[in-house]
Chain A
Amino acid sequence: MELTTNHFLFLSAALFIVGMMGVLTRRNILVVLMCVEMMVAAVAITFVAFSNETQTVNGQVFVLFALAIAAAESAVGLAIVVALSRRGKAPDVNEMQALRD
């Protein structure tokens, strides 16, 4: 049995789907943010696997940018959570409707 790129792609797909189910089922916004980070990391595995297969470094550079964007996203998301909790709101995605009404 030999290790191919497809192994890494299957691992990435499985991890992405686990994160997606977390985003769909959980109500705690902190866990939802963690699952989004997990999905970003799963896509990073795909990038690095294809970068390894085609022997280009560009895929790894893309992962670098995705890392920067994910860090900025989590900083803003957590600041929103802190601002919500300061107003006494629960960190519950089903009850966040301040922009709706």
Chain B
Amino acid sequence: MSWDVIFFFVLAAGTLVGGIATVAAENPVHSAVGLLVSFINIAGIFVMLGSEFLAVLQIIVYTGAVLVLILFVVMLIDPENLPAFYVAQPLQRYVSLLLGLVLLLEIGAAIITRTAMEAIGPHSPAWIESAGGNIQAIGQVLFSEYALALEIASLVLGVGVIGAVVLGVPERLGRMAGLEKATISLGHSRGLNPQLPAGHKFETPMDIPAERYDVPEGPRRVIMTKSADEYKHPGETAQGTRR
């Protein structure tokens, strides 16, 4: 056995153990640590396959940014709110195990019976050497063939960041900025005004007369889509489903 085979099996074992620890750990923080182990071993696999740039990127982006973000969110969430472990039906577990085995068999058959591709690509080790290394080779391909795709990827990242900020802004900040003028509520049709009759059904929200849904002292209008009697939720009274 040569050394690269031994290195491969060590890295593969680390990757799979980390992955299984992620799935099986009860505490989300332990899951995150398992994922960390898995990602670092994947970076080692990338080095074995000759793409050092992706290995560094794997460490920086996944373990440095994404995992830290996940850990922050784990700390933000009330631990009493976390769902119980594996309370889902045992059927779900057995079916997933069966599906996983079937998929593994299928992929294994496909891998074993495939015919290996020849090394026909233009980027031979000699070409990468002449380009100056792995990073330079990726840069040459990325900024010539894939320049448009790179721009679109940056657009997707920008939209993702804006979406995360919009989702994460607390509601009172939005009210302070005057951004929320009205809201469509799935609550009851009386709004915050108890003088209005209960159980009245409107065809569409547009049919509601203005004086019915205007909340005089509220910061914004509430457009109701359901009657009060349809909307029952434990812990909520018929009134005051909206702030």
Which A residues have a C-beta under 8 Å from some C-beta of B? Answer: 1-11, 13-15, 17-22, 24-28, 30-31, 33-35, 37-38, 41, 44-45, 48-58, 60-61, 63-65, 67-76, 78-83, 85-86, 88-92, 94-95, 101
Contacts and interface: CB of A to CB of B under 8 A. Distances in A.
B19 interface: yes
A72 B186 CA distance: 30
Given A1-B1, A25-B93, A14 B149 contact: no
A35 B22 CA distance: 8
B168 A82 contact: yes
Given A27-B87, A82-B167, 12 more contacts: A1-B1, A7-B8, A17-B100, A24-B96, A25-B96, A27-B86, A31-B31, A38-B38, A41-B39, A49-B49, A82-B76, A85-B76
Given A13-B108, A41-B58, A74 B69 contact: yes
A69 B153 CA distance: 7
B99 A73 contact: no
A51 B146 CA distance: 16
Contact of A76 (B35, B50, B121, B160): B160
A78 B49 contact: no
B142 A64 contact: yes
Given A20-B100, A68-B156, A57 B137 contact: yes
B66 A37 contact: yes
A37 to B, nearest CB: 6
Contact of B23 (A14, A25, A49, A73): A25
A4 B4 CA distance: 11
A48 B51 contact: yes
Interface residues of B, number: 92
A79 B164 contact: yes
Contacts of A35: 22-23
A79 B157 CA distance: 14
Interface string B18-60: 0110110000100110010011001001100111011001100
Given A17-B104, A55-B124, A78-B70, A8 B45 contact: yes
Considering the complex of A and B, which 8 residue pairs feature the smallest CB-CB distances, nearest first? A72-B160, A56-B121, A22-B23, A92-B83, A24-B96, A79-B167, A79-B164, A55-B121
A101 B231 CA distance: 10
Given A5-B116, A18-B20, A54-B121, A34 B32 contact: yes
Nearest to A6: B111
B201 interface: no
A45 B47 CA distance: 11
Contacts of A25: 23, 86, 88, 92-93, 96
Contact of A44 (B31, B54, B154, B165): B54
Given A25-B88, A34-B35, A61-B142, A52 B168 contact: no
5 contacts: A48-B51, A61-B146, A64-B142, A83-B167, A91-B83
Interface in B54-99: 54, 57-58, 61-62, 65-66, 69-70, 73-74, 76-78, 81-84, 86-88, 92-93, 95-97, 99
B16 A30 contact: no
